[in-house]
Structure 1
Amino acid sequence: MSLTAPYTVEFPFRRTVGPKIGTFLGGLRDARLFGVRTARGVLCPPLEFDPVTGAATGELVELVPVGMVTCWTWVPGRPGDPVPHDFAWALVAIDGTAGTFFHAVDTGGVPGRMATGLRVRARWRPERVGDLRDLECFEPVR
């Protein structure tokens, strides 16, 4: 016998993003990438508080939107994904930062082009609105 119960997942509140995440999202709208200083180095994406120490983070830093893949997994493309064909979800170490940025990497649907250590750069959507999808994906540096 199978039991079921109807449910709805809700988040019935609004959250302001704060000055650091707000600047990050505004930067994405303008095809710019920002991080934030911490005692351990620059974090991207930025946070209001250091996830390790809980200390308030420091000043915002504009970054060159280029980095290196540190690990990845290949996935088949699905409707709603950042790119319309097979791609990799990856952790990208943005140059000059500590830590990684989780995002899609598009190698044109060819898994043999994907590798740990691959140099990548941001590919921006033509029309941007100030959310994470404005950074469409990363792609190999040519």
Structure 2
Amino acid sequence: MSTPAPGGHGSLCAPYTLQFPFERTVGPKLGTFFAGLKEKRLFGVRARRGVLCPPLEFDPDTGAETGELVELPPTGTVTVWTWVRSRPGDPVAHDFAWALVEIDGTAGSLLHAVDVEADPTRMTRGMRVRARWRGERVGDLRDIECFEVEQ
């Protein structure tokens, strides 16, 4: 059963689970991406339609091997988002948005949390955001704690 979202804007709420229940080995491009996260660096890869972040080993449009790795800034633009209530284990301790963030210089988007201090009225399409890095990083996507409004 769905219930109205906080603020009474007529939105619906529903339970969700975001998971990737599999393990895989990473090639040289994803390996560099994950190693970069540990060092507070973002990498993408050249493909036919532009730079992709996160990088892929093969071009999703052609199936051809992707090109060279490109270092990217830790900033981007929110393309779409949805507001969620925080749960134990979520990347942010209070309510936040899951968003597609187009990292500057890329074609495509990265799914991640956006923290606007539990205020859904601050979320907008086109909003500029910056990665907020965890203090202790291990080389996985959670090394980016979330994205926050760029100051």
TM-score, scaled relative to structure 1: 0.89
Partner of residue 17 from structure 1, selected from 2, 16, 26 = 26
Q: Deviations over 1:7-58 (max 9, x none)?
A: xxx85xx632010000000000000000000111000000000112111000
For residue 82 of structure 2, what is the aligned residue in structure 1? 73
For 1:67, the aligned partner's letter is: G
Any stretches of 5+ residues in structure 2 without a counterpart? 1-20
Give the C-alpha shift of residue 131 in structure 1. Answer: 0.7
SS of structure 2 residue aligned to 1:25 = helix
For residue 118 of structure 2, what is the aligned residue in structure 1? 109
Partner of residue 66 from structure 2, selected from 57, 64, 72 = 57
Partner of residue 99 from structure 1, selected from 108, 112, 120 = 108
How big is the alpha-carbon RMSD for the aligned residues of Structure 1 and Structure 2?
1.1
For residue 6 of structure 1, what is the aligned residue in structure 2? none
For residue 27 of structure 1, what is the aligned residue in structure 2? 36
Q: Determine the C-alpha separation between the residues in 2 that align with 1:66 and 1:101.
A: 11
For residue 147 of structure 2, what is the aligned residue in structure 1? 138
For residue 4 of structure 2, what is the aligned residue in structure 1? none
SS of structure 2 residue aligned to 1:90 = strand
Any stretches of 5+ residues in structure 1 without a counterpart? 1-9
For 1:123, the aligned partner's letter is: R
Q: Determine the C-alpha separation between the residues in 2 that align with 1:101 and 1:94.
A: 7
1:127 aligns with 2:110: no
Higher Cα radius of gyration: 1
For 2:141, the aligned partner's letter is: L
Percent identity between matched residues is 73
Q: Determine the C-alpha separation between the residues in 1 that align with 2:130 and 2:59.
A: 25
